[in-house]
Structure 1
Amino acid sequence: MSRHSRTPRKVTGAVAVASAAAVALGGLLAGGPATAAPRAQTVAQDAGRQQHAVTAAYPSVTRAEVLRRAAKWLTANNGGPVPYSQSKVWSDGYRQDCSGYVSMTLGLWKPGPNTVGLAGDRSLTTPIRLGSLKPGDLLIDASGSNTTRHVVIFEKWTDSSRTSYWAYEQRGTYGTTHRKLSYGLNAGSEYKPYRPVNISDGSTPAPPPPSTGSWPTLAKGRTGTDVRTAQYLLAGRGYRLAADGVFGSDTDAKVRAFQKARGLAVDGVIGPKTWSALVRTVKKGSSGPAVRAAQIQLNAHGRNLVVDGVFGTATDAATRSHQRSRQLAVDGIIGPVTWRSLVGG
């Protein structure tokens, strides 16, 4: 989703480029933040577009490189995903929302066009059929407001039925994510398929390494399976609390106590570092709350296990099936990588 739409305006030659540069430089000299005001950002983007149009087309990028760049943001924030923001830019100069993320993968101007621009500017993308989707192509919802518009990067179909696909996206709360989606596959969907103009098939490079997902960020007020998972993991670390899937005051207090005991930042937020400290390796023969946590996550991925806290034959088989589907080492052991693919997938 993109907060700022580019207002169409005539910009001529070097004068407009110089003016936009002066605006940006003035902000830097004034000691302002890395993000520009919406109006200044709009002018700078327009000027940047004009400069690109005069000098050269956007550099060609292979599909494999687009996916490699997309995966990079999954761990760019000290091992965790780049946080979502419609107003901030990451260290590489690109805006931290969905369209800025896509712009980064395609090597477009910084901080990046918005979602409407990606869908409507034929120098950037061209509409295609769903059946023509290839790795690195886009599915864009350019309708509505900045809270509903969105763009995702297609990676591959999940199977031959083509009822869902793997995609990269930059989304609210979670930041950079790699997960299964079905946007655009239902009749009447606002999501439409597009092909970036500067993307190329290239030679047949090796596919990017399989994603292991990205840790979700949990804090007071959150609910659901991931919260229940964290509660079971806390119980497995000796902190007694109800695994009710509600991140309330008791869970907040237990998280803070755990963080303090582990020398982590005590903020009550379960992010990548706290998740990494919470999870423990479980395998066939293991039992206890951590196994329950694994079982509810496996069920969230389509398995049908009894959540009894016993890592038996059925849990072992479900673990191996999950690992196989995510192209992980198939050993039946739920260690850090498999945990992240379960919770972050």
Structure 2
Amino acid sequence: MAAKVPYSLTAYWSDGYRQDCSGFVSMAWKLPANEWTGSLGTVADRITKAELQPGDILLFHNTSDPEKGSHVVIFGGWTDGTRTAYTAYEQTPPHTRKRDTPYAYWSDSAKYLPYRYKGVAASGTGKAGAREEPVPAAGPASHGVAGYPGRAMFRPGADNAYVTRLGRQLVRKGFGTYYTRGPGPRWGEADRRGVQAFQRAQGWRGGAADGHPGPETWRRLFS
């Protein structure tokens, strides 16, 4: 906020994050890659207005025309007990700003939906099971887990060698029954179902077993 990072759909700040609204959220959530309004929902859980806590987001993705109206802001807390306004942190022209905002937003209010990052651990009053998966102990490797390439490698439509490597390891571990032919390199439903089966075998449920490999899934799968 103090740096007043200039807004841009194409420029990247010194930390590697894109200087638009979803790049700002990607930075705040420490995501391994720059997401956009159409993909942030895949790394988060839908929550209710009553569950909103600082650090959650309010997201509007205009599926019919993503470049028209789509926006995301970080929820910073209610301004008073009426819960009709909140502090919003957002990357918007001309630069990053913090301001009191009517719920859910100034325009298209009904289209803004609250989400919570799956990597957030549940607290005493938080949403139970909101964590993406158990967090591994910190280590010297990239993203805290040796060899883990980041979520961007396993998005819908992703096509890369990491998908093949993941699939082959699922087969070795006995979770390759969903493949009708050899795994990889294009991420698909067979990969997701295999990962989900492996996650459930770890005793994980709910959002922790959604079939999308996070760093702890990767660590256990390749250990």
Partner of 1:156: 77
Matched, 1:129 2:34: no
Letter in 1 for 2:20: D
Matches within 5 A, 1:46-195: 74-76=1-3, 81-110=4-33, 112-119=34-41, 121=42, 124-143=43-62, 144-173=65-94, 175-184=95-104, 189-195=110-116
Q: CA deviation at 1:200?
A: 3.1
Secondary structure, in 3 states, of the residue corresponding to 1:200?
coil
Matches within 5 A, 1:1-345: 74-76=1-3, 81-110=4-33, 112-119=34-41, 121=42, 124-143=43-62, 144-173=65-94, 175-184=95-104, 189-200=110-121
Secondary structure, in 3 states, of the residue corresponding to 2:110?
coil
Q: CA deviation at 1:145?
A: 2.4
Contact 1:125/1:197, CA 8 A, preserved across alignment: yes
Letter in 1 for 2:48: R
Q: How far apart in 2 are the matches of 1:190 and 1:132?
A: 18
Q: How far apart in 2 are the matches of 1:125 and 1:153?
A: 13
Give the TM-score of the pair, scaled to structure 1. 0.33
Q: 1:75 to 1:201 in 2, by over 3 A?
A: farther
Q: How far apart in 2 are the matches of 1:160 and 1:85?
A: 35
Q: How far apart in 1 are the matches of 2:11 and 2:121?
A: 30
Q: CA deviation at 1:183?
A: 4.2
Q: CA deviation at 1:190?
A: 0.7
Secondary structure, in 3 states, of the residue corresponding to 2:104?
coil
Q: How far apart in 1 are the matches of 2:69 and 2:55?
A: 22
Contact 2:84/2:103, CA 8 A, preserved across alignment: no
Secondary structure, in 3 states, of the residue corresponding to 1:131?
helix
Q: How far apart in 1 are the matches of 2:101 and 2:21?
A: 15
Number of residues of Structure 1 aligned to a counterpart in Structure 2: 121
Letter in 1 for 2:37: T
Contact 1:138/1:193, CA 8 A, preserved across alignment: yes
Q: How far apart in 2 are the matches of 1:188 and 1:138?
A: 14
Q: 1:183 to 1:162 in 2, by over 3 A?
A: closer
Q: Structure 1 regions of 5+ residues with no counterpart?
A: 1-73, 204-345
Q: Structure 2 regions of 5+ residues with no counterpart?
A: 125-223
Secondary structure, in 3 states, of the residue corresponding to 1:87?
coil
Give the TM-score of the pair, scaled to structure 2. 0.51
Percent identity, aligned pairs only?
41
Letter in 1 for 2:5: V
Q: How far apart in 2 are the matches of 1:160 and 1:183?
A: 13
Contact 1:183/1:189, CA 8 A, preserved across alignment: no
Q: 1:102 to 1:189 in 2, by over 3 A?
A: same
Q: How far apart in 1 are the matches of 2:13 and 2:103?
A: 26
Q: How far apart in 1 are the matches of 2:108 and 2:39?
A: 24
Contact 1:98/1:169, CA 8 A, preserved across alignment: yes
Cα deviation 1:101-122 (Å, max 9, x = unaligned): 0000111123x11111002x1x
Q: How far apart in 1 are the matches of 2:108 and 2:93?
A: 25
Q: How far apart in 1 are the matches of 2:81 and 2:123?
A: 24
Bigger drift between 85-94 and 139-148 goes to: 139-148
Q: 1:180 to 1:140 in 2, by over 3 A?
A: same
Letter in 2 for 1:90: W
Contact 1:99/1:113, CA 8 A, preserved across alignment: yes
**Which 4+ stretches in 1 moved above 4 angstroms?**
185-188
Q: 1:148 to 1:107 in 2, by over 3 A?
A: same
Q: CA deviation at 1:146?
A: 1.7
Q: Pairwise CA RMSD of aligned residues?
A: 2.1
Q: CA deviation at 1:202?
A: 6.6
